[in-house]
């Protein structure tokens, strides 16, 4: 399931979530901690369709390359301090077989992508 639509304005993120931005992405492991999952639950709130980021393993892709949450949040913090918008991202939620094939990811966040990437390509890129 490919879900576009996200919060782009930092002012729309509740303060009790945003206040932890400095603690997010301190490592590059795919497993989200409670602050990170709360943040993404807000960012994609209008398109979660039942998905919850809590304790989920998330893959990151940008400009065709595999990234990690450390890189994502480093950029997100800079954009926050620059009074810019949140990163332009799309959420891909995997089913059981896609999760297995991707290497155990529950979902992927594809950011700064000008083109919509087919789900199978997202899975393949994360697998590499």
Sheet containing strand 89-93, edge to edge, reads: 2-4, 89-93, 107-111, 58-62, 65-67
| Exposure string for 32-44, b = 16+ CB within 10 A, e = fewer | bbebbbbbbbbbb
C-beta closer to another protein: residue 48 or 87? 87
Cβ atoms of 40 and 111 within 8 Å: the answer is no
Q: Applying CB under 8 A, which residues contact another protein?
A: 4-5, 8, 63-66, 75, 79, 82, 84-85, 87-88, 90, 110, 112-117
Contact present, 101 and 123 (Cβ < 8 Å): yes
- Start-to-end CA distance of the chain, whole Å, equals 21
Task: In angstroms, give the least distance from the CB of 55 to another protein.
Answer: 28
CB of 66 to another protein, least distance (A): 8
Shorter beta-carbon distance to another protein: residue 64 or 104: 64
Least Cβ distance, residue 115 to another protein (angstroms): 5
Name which of 15 and 128 has its Cβ closer to another protein.
128
78/100 with CB nearer another protein: 78
């Amino acid at each position: 399931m490919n879900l576009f639509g996200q919060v782009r304005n930092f002012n729309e993120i509740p303060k009790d979530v945003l206040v932890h931005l400095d603690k997010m992405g301190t490592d590059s492991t795919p497993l989200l901690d409670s602050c990170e999952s709360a943040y993404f639950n807000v960012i994609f709130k209008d398109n979660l369709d039942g998905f919850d980021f809590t304790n989920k393993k998330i893959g990151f892709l940008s400009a065709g390359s595999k990234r990690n949450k450390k890189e994502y949040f480093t950029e997100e913090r800079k954009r926050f301090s620059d009074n810019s918008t949140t990163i332009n991202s799309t959420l891909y939620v995997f089913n059981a077989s896609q999760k297995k094939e991707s290497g155990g990811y529950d979902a992927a966040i594809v950011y700064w992508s000008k083109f919509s990437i087919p789900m199978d390509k997202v899975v393949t890129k994360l697998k590499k």
